[in-house]
Amino acid sequence: MIKISFCIPVYNQIELVRQCIESIVEYKGLDIEIVISDDCSTEDIEGLIHEIGDNRVHYYKNAENLGHDRNIIASFSRARGQFVFLLRTRDKMIASQIPHLIDAIDMFPNASYITASALDEKKRGKIVYNENKLFEKGIQALQANNHLYVHPSGSAYRREMIDLKVIDQFIQDEVDSKFSFIVHNLIRVELSQKGDFVILKDFTWIYATTTRAKDIAVNSQKNNQSVYSAELCRKRFSYEVKWCDLLLNDVMKIYQFEELFRVYLNQSTWGYKLSNANKKMRRHYSYEFVKIDVKHEREEFVKCARKLEMDIISQDKRKKLDERLNDIIKRNCREGYIKYLLLFVSEALGFNNILMYTNMKLRYMRRMK
């Protein structure tokens, strides 16, 4: 029986694909498979698979370029394992840890998704969970998903619990074709309502940091806009709110609306300004420096959110929600003065990384309250 299907959505990057696959096939068990979903690469990915010559590796090529999110869905639909484990081409598995991941599947029979700690390329802790922990399905799993750092790679999802057709149709109907990096958020919201969320302290995979300016993975489209841009944050917020409206009951819908409002308001204002000031971030995501009017972006985001709130939250529930949203807006303004000062000092000194660290630290401290 296949326990895990390692799903790798691919667009070119043939040498990285080789390294990713080879890191998995070091494990010799027959209870895994590797699904390569090739999104119309111009490089000979199929030839590479024949060269590797492992019958646990299955190659599929899309008839047309689907883009990042729909290629992930395609890879999941081709899998046969109990769980699908998503990997980017530049990431790797730690083969000796795969048995521990399989044990976790047996240990947590009600788990809908499992994620684990990760190392970076220098074998240092990159994503670290200090204990194995289970969050029960429903609000607990949803809260954990919101407050823990969970990367799209390195997560295993129970395949039979994902309604791939519904997600694929939602993306086709609602999501801008140039937009990506949303499907894993949709899947996690769905799975939080169907099973438990489990985190593992064992380092199971290697998170690789590379520059997208050099290598564009999983999609033939090169997007010169920052994934942290205010416009994309508003779109992501809108997509996720609409998805929650389809899946969640009224109580959890209101909770999630507030959480998403907090996250994307911060990302589309000061988070955007700070990431844009960081040279490494700009190089990683391959976009140019732009001037950002935080006040204007805040107003645009709030306008977008108010319209969505009117559409999906009943009138009798909006008064209390509005009070909490107004508090979030005030907090965003207050924190902005501190961040503006840090921005001015850091830019003058050239210490741009301080900005990102401070922003992340403030978010962490706020969540711990």
The band of 348, judged by pLDDT with boundaries at 50, 70 and 90, is low
Q: What pLDDT is recorded for position 216?
A: 44
Higher pLDDT, 158 or 230: 158
Residue 360 confidence class, pLDDT cut points 50, 70, 90: very low
* DSSP class of 225: S
DSSP annotation string for 241-257 = HHHHHHH--HHHHHHHH
CA distances in angstroms from 4 to 106, 110, 142, 339, 348, listed in the order given: 12, 16, 24, 44, 50
17-63 per-position pLDDT tens digit: 999 999 999 999 999 999 999 999 999 999 999 999 999 999 999 99
pLDDT tens by residue, 315-336: 999 999 999 999 999 998 877 6
Task: Say which range, 136-150, 198-212, 219-233, has the weakest mean pLDDT.
Answer: 219-233
Q: Which of 153-162, 239-248, 329-338 has the lowest mean pLDDT?
A: 329-338
More confident residue, 244 or 350: 244
Provide the whole-model pTM. Answer: 0.86
Look at residue 223 and tell me whether its pLDDT is greater than 50: no
Query: Considering only 91-100, 138-147, 330-339, which range has the smallest mean pLDDT?
Result: 330-339
Q: What is the mean pLDDT of residues 157-164?
A: 97
Q: Pick the closest to residue 212 from 125, 121, 90, 39 (CA basis).
A: 90
61 or 212: whose pLDDT is higher?
61
Alpha helices in 78-196 (DSSP H): 98-107, 139-147, 164-174, 183-192
pLDDT band of 351, cuts 50, 70, 90? low
Task: Return the pLDDT at 226.
Answer: 60
Instruction: Tell me what percent of the residues of the chain surpass a pLDDT of 90.
Output: 66
User: pLDDT tens digit string along 282-314?
Assistant: 776 666 778 889 899 999 999 999 999 999 999
- Weakest mean pLDDT among 177-181, 208-212, 225-229, 280-284: 208-212
Tally of CB atoms within 10 A around 158 = 21
Task: Work out the mean pLDDT of the chain and round it to a whole number.
Answer: 86
* 178 pLDDT more than 70: no
Residue 277 has pLDDT above 90, yes or no: no
Identify the weakest region by mean pLDDT among 134-143, 216-225, 228-237: 216-225
Q: Which long-range contacts (CB under 8 A, 24 or more apart) does 352-361 make?
A: 352/277, 352/278, 352/279, 352/280, 353/278, 353/280, 355/274, 355/277, 355/278, 356/274, 356/275, 356/278, 356/281, 358/274, 359/270, 359/271, 359/274
pLDDT: which is higher, 128 or 343: 128
Identify the structural domains of the chain with CATH numbers, from first to last.
4-206 (3.90.550.10), 230-368 (no CATH)
Residue 36 sits at φ, ψ, to 5 deg, of -100, 115
pLDDT at 188: 95
Question: In this predicted structure, what is the pLDDT of residue 342?
Answer: 64
